[in-house]
Amino acid sequence: MAAAAAAAAAAGSGTPREEEGPGGEAAAPQPQAPTSAPGARLSRLPLARVKALVKADPDVTLAGQEAIFILARAAELFVETIAKDAYCCAQQGKRKTLQRRDLDNAIEAVDEFAFLEGTLD
């Protein structure tokens, strides 16, 4: 009787239940697992690094988690876009390897990439 009560007490207070991840609030630098729908795949870029970039701006006070997430996703879309545009240039040269000059050409050719001029050297 006494033994049973003691055992119950030990099981209850001893080990904690599954440990929750360190802070659901904080942006953990883990890659998100892809969901079933390809379009709904969440960001692969680590949110912590994106946050570091955002904080590097002296004018920025705070950034919400959603903002960081969208920036990460936008950066991914940007990488895809610029890679494809650069590839068009490589294709014209009948090459199968993207070179630095393909990128430079794309930056010059595409208006939206104008902000990159002079920043990659």
Contacts to another protein from residues 56-85, by CB under 8 A: 56-57, 59-67, 69-71, 73-84
Among residues 106, 101, 47, the alpha carbon closest in space to that of 81 is found at 106
CB of 2 to another protein, least distance (A): 7
Answer yes or no: are the C-beta atoms of 86 and 98 closer than 8 Å.
yes
CA distances from residue 18 to 30, 32, 40, 56 in whole angstroms, order as listed: 19, 20, 28, 36
Residues in contact with another protein by CB under 8 A are 1-2, 4-5, 8-9, 11-12, 17-18, 20, 24, 31, 35, 39-40, 42-46, 49-50, 52-54, 56-57, 59-67, 69-71, 73-84, 86-87, 90, 96-100, 102-103, 107, 111-113, 115-116, 119-120
